[in-house]
Amino acid sequence: MIIYSEPNTVSDLPIIDIGPSFSKNKTDRAEVAKNIGRACKETGFFYISNHGVDQNLIDETFAQANRFFDQPKGWKEKWKKKGGSNGYEPLETQRLDNESPRDIKESFNFTLGNIPGTSGYKSNIWPKNFPEFRGQLEAYKIAVWKAGLQVSRLISLSLGMSFKHFDSTFSQQKSPLRILRYPPQPKNTQYNQLGCGAHTDWGWITLLSQDMTGGLEVEKASGEWVRVEPVPGTFVVNLGDIMLRWTNAKYHSSLHRVMNNYSGINRHSIVLFFNHSHDTHVECLPSCLSAEEKPIFLPCTAGEHSAQRYKESR
Ligand code: OGA
Ligand code: NI
C-alpha cells in the first residue's frame, strides 16, 4: 500500500507539439521524436498537443460518458462485466494499488476488432436501447487510436528503430477504451481509499483525456508526487510497464493515482490503453543494450505480462 500525502507542486511535464511530426519531412519528425524520447526517459509522462483529434468529438464523448453514468445503478448493473468480458464496472470494484481499499470510481470498457476464438479475445457488453453511446465511443476510439499510433511511431524512432517498426504488434482487440467517473468523495471511506490507487499501467502507452476537475497525480523519478493539471486541447500520454521490457528500463513507467474528489462534482476521464496483440513477443531491443549490460527482464508475451498484472489488481 502506498500511503497518500498531498502533493504541493504542479507537474512540469512537457507539452509536446506533435503537429510537425505528421509532415513527411524527416527532420521535423526526428525533432519531435527526440523530445518524446527525452520525456520517456525522464518521467514516462507527457502531454501531446496538435494531435489531430477534433475537440468536438472529445466533448461529445464526455457528454455520452456523463449520460451513461447518470443512469440508475440497477440499469448500469445490467451491463456489468462478466466472465472476462468488457462492460460496466461498479464503484469500489477494482483495486489498482494491491493492498489499498477498492477505488472510488466506476467505469465502462470496450474493445474494437474483437475476433472470437483468437487469443486475448473479450466480448463487449453494450447497453441496449441507449442510442448514440456506442457510436460516439467507437468514433472516439478510432480517432485517438490514430494519435496513439503516431506517438508509438515517434517512440520507435526515438529508440533507433524504423518509424513503423512496431506497427504490426498493435491490436485493437487488446486495447481497451475506458470511460471513468469519480464521484464526489463519499462519507465513510476507508483509510487510504483513493479515486484510483497508485499503480503503473501495464501495456505499451496510455492516452488520457480528463475534464477540468483535475485529480491525476504522478510520481517523479525523485519520489516526489506532483499534480498533473488538466491542459485543454491535450492528451496525457504515459508509458506502461511493457516499455521497461523493450528498453531495459531506460524508458520509464511512472506510478500515478487519482486523489479523492473534494470538488463537489463528478470527475470524468477517458483512457485508451494502446497495447500489443496477445502473442507479441517482448524482449529487450538491441539498441537498448550496451556491450556491458544484461537484460533485466526475461522475454515474455504481451498476454502473459498483462495476465499477471491483472491478477495482481484483484
Ligand atoms: C487508469 C488511470 C487515471 C484517471 O485508468 O489507469 O490511471 O485520471 N486513470 O482516470
Ligand atoms: Ni493508469
CA angle at 47 for the pair 42 and 48, rounded to the nearest 5°:
120
**Nearest ligand, CA of residue 105?**
1
**Nearest ligand, CA of residue 208?**
1
Contact yes or no for 200/253 (Cβ under 8 A): yes
Give residues whose Cβ lies within 5 Å of ion ligand 2.
201
Would you list the domain boundaries of the chain?
15-312
- Is residue 180 within 6 Å of ligand 1 at its C-beta? yes
Of 149, 173, 170, 135, nearest to 53 by C-alpha is: 149
Under DSSP, the state recorded for 95 is -
Atom of ligand 1 nearest to the CA of 180: 10
Atom of ligand 1 nearest to the CA of 182: 10
pLDDT digits (tens, 9 = 90+) for 255-269: 999 999 899 999 999
For domain 15-312, give the fold. Answer: Jelly Rolls (2.60.120)
- Is residue 179 within 6 Å of ligand 1 at its C-beta? no
> pTM for this structure?
0.96
Residue 237 C-alpha cell reads as: 500520454
156 CA from centroid of ligand 2 (Å) = 22
- Residues 232-236: what's their mean pLDDT? 97
Cα gap 228→216, rounded to integer Å: 5
Residue 213 C-alpha cell reads as: 476537475
- Is residue 196 within 6 Å of ligand 1 at its C-beta? yes
Q: Which residues of 74-112 are buried (b: 16+ CB within 10 A; e: fewer)?
A: eebeebebeeebbbbbebbebbbbeebbbbbbbbbbbbb
- Three-state DSSP at 74 gives helix
The pLDDT value given to residue 3 = 87
pLDDT digits (tens, 9 = 90+) for 196-223: 989 999 999 999 999 999 999 999 878 8
- Is residue 201 within 6 Å of ligand 1 at its C-beta? yes
* Spatial CB neighbours of 305, under 8 Å, sequence gap ≥ 6: 202, 241, 242, 245, 282
- Residues 54-75: what's their mean pLDDT? 98
Closest CA to ligand 1's atom 8: 216
The pLDDT value given to residue 304 = 92
Is the pLDDT assigned to residue 314 strictly greater than 60? Answer: no
289 CA from centroid of ligand 1 (Å) = 31
The pLDDT value given to residue 313 = 62
310 CA from centroid of ligand 2 (Å) = 13
Atom of ligand 1 nearest to the CA of 206: 6
> Alpha helices, DSSP H only, in the chain?
26-42, 55-69, 73-77, 133-158, 242-247, 302-312
290 CA from centroid of ligand 2 (Å) = 31
pLDDT digits (tens, 9 = 90+) for 101-131: 898 999 999 999 999 999 889 999 999 999 9
Cα gap 188→194, rounded to integer Å: 12
The pLDDT value given to residue 72 = 98
Is the pLDDT assigned to residue 189 strictly greater than 90? Answer: no
257 CA from centroid of ligand 1 (Å) = 7
Which residue of 95, 234, 271, 272 sits with most ligand 1 atoms within 8 Å of its CB, as the best mutation to test the pocket?
271
**Nearest ligand, CA of residue 196?**
1
Is the pLDDT assigned to residue 312 strictly greater than 80? Answer: no
pLDDT digits (tens, 9 = 90+) for 125-162: 999 999 999 999 999 999 999 999 999 999 999 999 99
Cα gap 90→80, rounded to integer Å: 8
Contact yes or no for 194/177 (Cβ under 8 A): no
Give the rounded percent of residues in the chain with a pLDDT score beyond 70.
99
- Is residue 269 within 6 Å of ligand 1 at its C-beta? yes
Residue predicted with more confidence, 9 or 77: 77
> Per-residue confidence at 87, pLDDT binned at 50, 70, 90?
very high
> Per-residue confidence at 188, pLDDT binned at 50, 70, 90?
confident
- Residues 237-252: what's their mean pLDDT? 96
Averaged pLDDT score across all residues of the chain: 94
- Is residue 256 within 6 Å of ligand 1 at its C-beta? yes
